[in-house]
């Protein structure tokens, strides 16, 4: 993307306006709130619709169905329709699907609307990193991608904090409608702040010199090398662990006798500290830390934290278990920001960035889709959550091996 396009998008209107890359991160936070709105609502939804534990796991992960099936294709399409338009369309789809879900009268309808929400979330997630790459100078890219990496934990934490307050005062349907209005407001703000120069600039890069003859060449260049696949598989190992723990933590707390607000607040804290890990990763990468080092630190902390929190739950105090979950999320937060930076850097040219990010998200969505139901089935077959650490620990071990492969020097 030409620097001029990013300058027009990021500098128009003077310094009083919110920087465009921060606005994009804010849009990602709004999108992530639609993912994070479900965990604290699960007890209410299970009671209203008669959902079993495994069904609840699928409801939790179904938002990732679109990403699992369509992320690569939408990454390619985002460059065609325009990154700005893809971002706006994603926010509007989220608004419509959340409003539709608020009127669902059956579990099947709620599941359908949840899958549509996944499509909107995917469009935002695919377009945003490519937009940010075109808005910031290269020396600030790692820091900006670190900020982008906070969108998921920040949005999840906000949803976990605000959701119980709204649902206790009204209902889960009011909460769904409120988030629909928030997504529509974010779309309006992005339409006003990001001018059409972004889309024009993206098309100019493709015409001027994409990596190959047209869109087929971009696709072949993006998926024909191992780097993007390794980044995506590593992200899947992280995402499966994080969504499983964050998604079921309110249910675990509720089974322990906590109220919805208490469970939401404790889970929100676990999600919120992940933001610090993402920001720290951006700064450390900017200072010259190797990605492999950060990834191994993150996966090691996630394995250790899950073992203490779940494997030793009958042997350590509750405060120690919660501290272990904070370590799990905070140090684990080094992983997504590092991998987003790697995804942008391994892309063979600017036009390929949305495609590589789409592939990364598709792999991540597969991990998030499979993680919660598998963990729920594992917990159900072992009589409780104490064996959860085995599943998450296996994912952490595979992720650490992939990280070593990702950082291996290329052959001469």
79-98: pLDDT as tens digits: 677 888 889 999 999 999 99
Q: What is the residue-wise DSSP string for 255-272?
A: HTT--HHHHHHHHHHHHH
Residue 48 lies in a domain: yes
d(CA 173, CA 179): 10
120, part of any domain = yes
The predicted pLDDT at position 66 comes to 67
If DSSP codes are grouped into helix, strand and coil, which group holds residue 288?
A: coil
**Each residue of 362-406: pLDDT tens digit?**
888 888 778 877 877 877 777 677 777 888 888 899 999 999 988
Question: Measured between alpha carbons, how far is 329 from 271 in angstroms, rounded to an integer?
Answer: 7
Could you tell me the residue range of the domain that residue 93 belongs to?
A: 3-406
CATH number at residue 318: 1.20.1250.20
Token output for 163: 């959701």
Q: Residue 412 falls within a domain, yes or no?
A: no
Neighbours of 137 (CB within 10 A): 10
pLDDT of residue 6: 42
C-beta neighbour count of 230 within 10 angstroms: 20
* Distance in angstroms (rounded) separating the CA atoms of residues 333 and 348: 26
Nearest to 31 by CA among 115, 71, 87, 113: 87
Question: In this structure, is residue 411 part of a structural domain?
Answer: no
Q: What pLDDT shows up at residue 350?
A: 66
Q: Report d(CA 238, CA 298) in Å as an integer.
A: 9
pLDDT for 402 equals 93
Q: Of residues 410 and 209, which shows the higher confidence score?
A: 410
What confidence tier does 13 reach under pLDDT thresholds 50, 70, 90?
very low
In this structure, is residue 277 part of a structural domain?
yes
Contact 211, 79 (CB under 8 A): no
What does the pLDDT look like over 220-232, one tens digit per residue? 766 667 788 899 9
DSSP classification of residue 16: T
CA dihedral 82, 96, 179, 367 (to 10 degrees): -70
Tally of domains in the chain = 1
Tell me the C-alpha distance between 187 and 27, whole Å: 8
Most confident of 216-220, 254-258, 321-325, 372-376: 321-325
Q: What is the pLDDT of residues 111-164, one digit of tens each?
A: 889 889 988 998 898 888 888 877 777 777 777 777 887 888 889 889 988 998
Residue 86: Cβ within 10 Å count: 26
| pLDDT tens string 295-317 | 999 999 999 998 988 888 778 88
Calculate the CA 41 to chain-centre distance.
19
What the block records as the tokens of 309 is 């929190």
The stretch 328-354 carries a mean pLDDT of 83
* pLDDT given at position 3: 38
Q: For residues 150 and 69, what is the distance between their CA atoms, to the nearest angstrom?
A: 24
- pLDDT score of 260: 67
* Burial class for 237, CB neighbours closer than 10 Å (0-12, 13-18, 19+): buried
Mean pLDDT of 174-197: 88
Distance CA(237)–CA(363), nearest Å, equals 9
Residue 174 vs residue 192, higher pLDDT: 174
Is this model's pTM higher than 0.75 or not?
A: no
pLDDT at 401: 93
Contact 360, 149 (CB under 8 A): no
């Amino acid at each position: 993307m030409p620097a001029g396009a990013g300058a027009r998008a990021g500098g128009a209107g003077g310094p009083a306006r919110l920087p465009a890359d921060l606005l994009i991160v804010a849009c990602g936070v709004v999108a992530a709130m639609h993912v994070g709105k479900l965990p604290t609502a699960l007890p209410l939804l299970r009671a209203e619709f008669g959902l079993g534990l495994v069904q609840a796991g699928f409801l939790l992960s179904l938002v990732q169905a679109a990403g699992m099936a369509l992320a690569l294709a939408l990454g390619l399409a985002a460059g065609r329709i325009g990154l700005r338009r893809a971002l706006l369309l994603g926010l509007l789809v989220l608004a419509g699907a959340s409003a539709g879900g608020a009127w669902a009268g059956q579990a099947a309808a709620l599941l359908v609307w949840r899958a549509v929400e996944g499509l909107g979330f995917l469009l935002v997630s695919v377009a945003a990193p490519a937009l940010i790459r075109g808005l910031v100078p290269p020396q600030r890219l790692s820091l900006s991608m670190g900020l982008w990496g906070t969108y998921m934990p920040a949005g999840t934490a906000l949803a976990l904090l605000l959701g119980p307050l709204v649902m206790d005062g009204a209902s889960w349907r009011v909460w769904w409608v409120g988030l629909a209005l928030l997504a529509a407001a974010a779309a309006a703000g992005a339409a006003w702040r990001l001018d059409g120069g972004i889309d024009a600039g993206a098309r100019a890069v493709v015409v001027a010199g994409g990596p190959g003859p047209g869109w087929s060449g971009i696709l072949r260049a993006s998926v024909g090398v191992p780097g993007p696949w390794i980044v995506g598989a590593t992200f899947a190992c992280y995402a499966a662990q994080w969504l499983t723990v964050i998604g079921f933590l309110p249910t675990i707390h509720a089974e322990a006798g906590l109220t919805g607000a208490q469970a939401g607040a404790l889970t929100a804290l676990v999600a919120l500290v992940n933001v610090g890990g993402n920001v720290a990763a951006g700064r450390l990468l900017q200072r010259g830390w190797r990605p492999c080092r950060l990834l191994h630190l993150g996966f090691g902390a996630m394995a250790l934290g899950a073992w203490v929190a779940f494997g030793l739950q009958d042997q350590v105090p509750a405060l120690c278990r919660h501290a272990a979950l904070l370590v799990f999320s905070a140090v684990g937060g080094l992983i997504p920001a590092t991998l987003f930076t790697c995804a942008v850097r391994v892309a063979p040219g600017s036009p390929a960035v949305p495609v590589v990010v789409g592939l990364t998200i598709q792999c991540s969505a597969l991990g998030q889709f499979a993680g919660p139901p598998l963990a729920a089935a594992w917990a159900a077959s072992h009589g409780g959550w104490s064996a959860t650490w085995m599943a998450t620990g296996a994912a952490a071990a595979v992720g650490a091996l992939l990280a070593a492969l990702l950082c291996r020097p290329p052959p001469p």
